[in-house]
Structure formats: structure tokens, C-alpha cells
Amino acid sequence: MFTLTAVETEALALSLRVAGLAVAVSLPIGVVLAWLLARKHFPGKILLDGIVHLPLVVPPVVIGYLLLVTMGRQGIVGAWLYETFGIVFAFSWRGAALAAGVMAFPLMVRAMRLSFEAIDPRLEEAARTLGANGVWVFITVTLPLAVPGIITGAILAFARCIGEFGATITFVSNIPGETRTLPLALYTLVQTPDGEAGALRLVVISIVLAFAALLVSEVTARRLKQRETD
Amino acid sequence: MAADNTLTVNVALARHGFAMEASFAAVAGLTALFGRSGAGKTTLANLIAGLERPARGHISIGDRVLFDSESGAWVPPEKRRIGYVFQEGRLFPHLSVRGNLEYAPRFLPAGTARPDFDEIVALLNLRSLLSRRPQRLSGGEKQRVAIGRALLAQPSLLIMDEPLASLDAMHKAEILPYIERLRDEAAVPIVYVSHAISEVVRLADTMVIVDDGRTVASGSVEEIMGCLDLRPLTGRYEAGAVLAVTVRGHDKTFGLTELGFSGRRLWVPAIDAPLGDALRIRIRARDVALSLTEPADTSLLNILPATVREIAETDGPQVEVLLDVDVPLIARITRKSLAALDLRPGKPVYALIKAAAIDRQSLGMGGSRKRRK
């Protein structure tokens, strides 16, 4: 039987926690941003679109470094956050969540945006003639119709968070129990003499986890589609 | 009806190659916006509903101003209380039929009388559909649900944009009686957008002709249809004068119904309507022939003494003759016959109408006069 060692359990639990926090916090921002990009025209839209997609095209180390400069204890934003709210990102698992969330953000927004774009705006018009104002139209028509895409986006982002490496190690380093997620643990084992066996086990865990996420995403999307045609 | 629900529209709009200049009023009953595709009927409907904004002008229902460019007044669509039945239904796919029907009432301002759900469900015969998903409905069922959903918003005006256009003949016939009931039973004025003259004749009290973004003419269906210079717009082949008639008797032996209008009599194939019922019939111009003498020994049942009022030339080999049989009647004859009979305004003639030419499609049931008594 495949039982996890204490170190493996620790890395896995940390990974799940980091990815969970990252997705939970970025989800509402992602939904609003995806809707804005899908439906609204405003000055600077192309620029915003570019910034959202940056983590997809820039080396992860660059993102990690930028986070370190801005969100670290000495960073402009980081210092302010620490002084105002007492929140510290540097070298903490929250920082790992931030790095993972930023890296996964474009994937999440893309999936959701496609989903918003696929909604027939004439349904929203119909809702308005029935007495719903802009906010209610969003809550009662737009959002429910976008749910399959939102779920897909969230799961993709979750899987991407689990796999985040470059930005994380650059920003919050590789601290056992605090920022050593699955990929970092794997990296550490690969660097250690005689670590191959342990590394292989982590590879299997990573693959199983990623595969499970994709499977859940696919099944959910299908379920929801089915429900709509029933 | 206590509140004055007269719709007054006077709007102008210009955008990439399309200009609109429209002005009309719609009182109680059903007002048809009639015109060919691309004439701007849907744009006009959207302006009334508030889905599009006019460049300038004025829109009001009774004394409630919905748009006024001078005072800057603008009521957003969700506050207009205008029900809108779209051509494609636009039912919410994520809600059941019941969910669709229950969508609007929750947005009604507190203190407004709630519409009677069961009454509207019964009116449109929706009971058996309530738990279904919109995707599983036929085209006709979808439109019935869409009508019910709009009515449950307790509208002070109902817009129907070509609600039958996407349906086949069978489903059209299924929906028409519901629209008639709505017109006669629900006290909501209806603006009905259509390019099908048969629907307009059957359903409308008043019609407004829209052509190239402009409202060209408006008036009662009888008036407009009896107007020769509007004939290019009302359509040559299908169009004809519209008469308001009452059912005077049924001839069971021969399967005929006798209709009366201003002291005249008209035989048509049996109609299932009680004595005294008010109907409207369209007599297509191509079904009316003319004679200078009263024909004897003829199969024609309807021979009406008439006077020529006006003769309109057309591009083809035919002309249209406006006749006076106390009400307007239009005949289309060849130019050759026009010359042979030497027809001129003022000349007495006999209008000959084949009874068999007047079919179900030419009938408007439960016409305006019945409701106004």
C-alpha cells in the first residue's frame, strides 16, 4: 500500500492549503475581471488584459522577483501591508499562496472570460425588461450561466497553484513546513544524494493530484451542461 | 380601465446609414407596427422598451414620461414596466418554466398588486409545462411561456416583436388564439410588431406603417387597408380592403355564413361564430371582379352595387380600383378591363366577390367593435 511519510504529508497538506487560499482569494477578483474584459469597453482595457496575462508569458522567476521587491517586508506594498494590517508575505505560506495565485490568475481569468463571452447578451436585455437592474441581472442571469466556466477556471487555477515552483522559490524561498510545497520538496529531493526514490513518490503524488483536478473539472462541466438541457 | 395607458412616441435616431424619425400613439387594444424587414420596427420597439436610446424626442405612457430629450428624462428599461415578448422567446435556459415565470414578480415595487400567477398560467395553458426546461419546449410552447413571463411583470404595456415569425404554420395557428384572448381579456395595451399582413388584419385594431425608419401612416386597420396610396407598403398580392362585419346568420344546408356590414350582405364559407359576433374580414383585391351590369345566372354569391372612387396605376399590367360600398373596397383588374369598361371615378359598378375566396386566414375574430360596446 502507498502510505505517505510525514514529510510527504506535510508537503501535500501545505500545497493544498496554499492552493486553496490562492484560489479562494483570487476567485472573486477573477470573476469580476473576466466579466469586465468580456463585456465592458473602457480605456486601458488592452493594458489590463496584458497585465493579467503577464504571468503566462514572463519567466516565473521574474514574477517571484517582482513580488519580492514589491511585497517583501522592505517592498513598497509589503511594508505598508505590514504596518497597517500586520500582514507578512515574505517567507511565509501566505506568500507562497500569493505567488501561486498570481501565476495561476491568467488561466483562471481566461476560462471565465470565455464563459462570459458565450452568454447571449439578449438574455440580459430580457431580464432588464422584466424589472431586474444591472446588479440583479448579473446575479440572476449572467453569473448562473457562467458557472460552468467559473468552476473550470477555479479548478485549472487550483491545479496550476499546486504545480507552482519558480515564483514561489524566488519569493518565499524553500522553508520546510512553511513554504516547501510539493514541487519544492521534489526539487529538494532531486538535489539530495540518494533522493531518487523519494522524488519518484512525489512525482506520482503530483501527477495523481493534477489528474484528479482535471477530471473533476471535466465531469463538473459536463454535469452542468447536462442539467441545462434536461 | 382606470389609468390612461396611451403610449405616445415621437423619436429620432441616426446611426451608421440608418435614420429613424417615428411618431405615433397607441391607445388601448392592439396596435400593429407593420412594415417590411429592415424597416426599423424592432429598433422602434427597443426604443420604447428602453433597450436603445433615441437621439432626441419623447416617449410616454399616459402621463408617465419615459424619455424626453429636452428635460433629459430617462427611465431605464427595468423601471418602465413594459413587457417585451421577443421573436426568439429569450427564455432563461438555467431556469425551469416556473422559474422563468416567477422571475419578474420579485422585482415589483413593494405595495404593487401581484399579478395572479394561476390566472396567467390558465390563460396561456402552461400548467403542464411548469417543471420543464425551456430547451425541451416546442417553438409555440416557448412563445406562450415568454408571453406569460412578460405578463407576470405586471406591465402597463406589452410589446410583441414578431412573436410568430420563427414558428411554422401549425404553431402560428396554435398561438394566435392566445394573443386574441390576451387582447380581449387582459387590459394591457399591446404593441405588435409584424411584417405579415394576415396577422395584422386578424389581430390589430390600429396599425402604424413603418417604412425606412419612418412612420408613414397610422389609423384603424380598415382605414389604412382601404387607402390606395399605401398599397405599395401594405403589399399587393396578399392585401385588400378590410371590412368590419357582424355575423347575421348561418346556412347549415350549404355550409355558409351570412355577414352584414352597413346594410349589405356577404356570404362566406361557414364560420364558427355566434350570431351578432363582430368580425373583421379582409377581401383581397385580386378576389374582387367588376361588372357594369348586375350579372344574372352566376355562381357568384356576393354581388354588391358600388361606386368607383379612385383608380391607381401600378407598374404591371394591372390597376387597382377603390370602390365605395359605403365602406372602402379594393378591386384589382387588368388595364385592358379598365379600358373596356371605361371606368372613371363616380361611375356605378357591381363588385363581384367569390364566397370561396374568403378563408380563415382573412378573418379577425372578436374584432374591435365587440370589445368597445
B103 to chain A: nearest residue by CA? A130
Confidence at residue B361, expressed as pLDDT on a 0 to 100 scale: 61
Inter-chain CB proximity B88 and A122 less than 8 Å: yes
Contacts of A118 in chain B (CB under 8 A): none
What is the sign, positive or negative, of the torsion defined by CA atoms of A104, A105, A108, A113? negative
Asked whether the beta carbons of B29 and B189 are under 8 A apart, the reply is: yes
- What cell was used for B335? 388595364
Q: Which of A125, A132, A228 sits opposite B51 (nearest CB)?
A: A125
pLDDT tens digits, chain B, 373 residues: what are they? 446 788 999 999 988 788 899 999 988 889 999 998 888 899 999 999 999 999 999 999 988 999 999 999 999 999 999 999 999 889 999 999 999 999 999 998 888 778 889 999 998 899 999 999 999 898 889 999 999 999 999 999 999 999 998 888 888 888 888 898 888 887 789 999 999 888 888 888 899 999 999 999 998 888 888 877 787 777 665 667 888 888 998 988 988 899 998 888 889 888 888 888 888 888 888 889 999 998 888 888 899 999 999 888 777 788 889 999 888 888 988 988 888 999 999 999 999 998 878 766 667 665 443 443 3
- Rounded Cα distance between B129 and B142, Å, is 10
Query: B interface mutation test: which of A130, A137, A151 has the most B CBs within 10 A?
Result: A130
Residue B371 burial (CB count, 10 A): 14
Q: Position B50: which residue type?
A: G
Which residue range(s) make up the domain with A101? 6-229
Confidence at residue B351, expressed as pLDDT on a 0 to 100 scale: 92
Q: Under 8 Å CB-to-CB from B272, ≥6 apart: which residues?
A: none
Distance (Å, rounded) from C-alpha A130 to C-alpha B81?
A: 8
Residues 97-126, chain A, touching B (beta carbon < 8 A) = 120, 122-123, 125-126
Do A130 and B135 make contact, defined as CB atoms within 8 angstroms? no
Q: Cα(B196)–Cα(B362) distance, rounded to whole angstroms?
A: 12
The CATH number linked to A210 is 1.10.3720.10
* Confidence at residue B238, expressed as pLDDT on a 0 to 100 scale: 66
Mean pLDDT of chain A: 90
Contacts of A131 in chain B (CB under 8 A): 78-79, 81, 104, 107-108, 153
Tell me if A223 is assigned to some domain.
yes
A53 inside domain = yes
User: CB–CB of B84 and A126 under 8 A?
Assistant: yes
Closest by Cα among B247, B243, B250 to B276:
B247
- pLDDT tens digit sequence for A147-199: 988 998 999 899 999 989 999 999 999 998 899 999 999 999 999 888 888 89
Grid cell in block for residue B285: 383585391
| pLDDT digit string, tens, across residues A213-226 | 888 888 887 887 77
| All three cell numbers of A125 | 436585455
A81 Cβ contact list (under 8 Å, min separation 6) = A71, A87, A88, A89
The CA distances from residue B68 to A197, A211, A223, B62, B178, in Å, are 78, 60, 48, 14, 35
> Contact B108/A131, CB-based, under 8 Å?
yes
Q: Give backbone dihedrals phi and psi of B266, rounded to 5 degrees, phi first.
A: -140, 125
By the 8 A CB rule, do A166 and A61 touch? Answer: yes
Which pLDDT value is given to residue B364?
A: 67
Contact A140 B150 (CB under 8 A): no
Q: Give the tens place of pLDDT for each residue, A44-55.
A: 999 999 999 999
Outline where chain B has alpha helix (H): 41-49, 97-101, 117-123, 139-151, 169-185, 197-203, 221-225, 231-234, 335-341, 368-372
DSSP 8-state class, residue A170: H
In chain A, how many domains are there?
A: 1
* Confidence label for A1 from pLDDT (cuts 50, 70 and 90): low
Residue A124 domain-assigned?
yes
pLDDT for res B79: 93
Q: Are the Cβ atoms of B77 and A122 closer than 8 angstroms?
A: no
pLDDT range class, residue A228, cuts 50, 70, 90: low
| Average pLDDT over every residue of A73-90 | 86
In this complex, how many residue pairs, one in chain A and one in chain B, have their CB atoms less than 8 Å apart?
Answer: 69
pLDDT at site B2: 45
**Cβ–Cβ gap B82/A141 under 8 Å:** no
Residue A3: Cβ within 10 Å count:
6
Q: Which residues pair with B333 in a beta bridge?
A: B319
Q: What is the pTM of this model?
A: 0.81
Contact (Cβ atoms closer than 8 angstroms) between residue B227 and residue B217: yes
Q: Does A144 touch chain B (CB under 8 A)?
A: yes
Asked whether residue A141 is domain-assigned, the answer is yes
Nearest to B153 among A120, A125, A131 (CB): A131
Q: Flag whether A1 is in a domain.
A: no
- B370 or A110, which is more confident? A110
3-class DSSP state of B9? strand
CATH numbers and ranges of domains, chain B: 7-225 (3.40.50.300), 240-372 (2.40.50.100)
Kindly report the nearest CA distance between residue A33 and chain B, in angstroms.
23
Binary contact (B104, A133; C-beta < 8 A) = no
Map residue B128 onto helix, strand or coil: helix
Q: What integer pLDDT is reported at residue B369 of this predicted model?
A: 39
Contact B135 A123 (CB under 8 A): no
Which ranges of B160-196 does DSSP label H, i.e. alpha helix? 169-185
- The answer to whether residue A103 sits within a structural domain is yes
Q: Does the residue A213 lie in any domain?
A: yes
A136 in contact with chain B, both atoms CB, cutoff 8 A: yes
Asked if A133 and B49 come within 8 Å (Cβ–Cβ), the reply is no
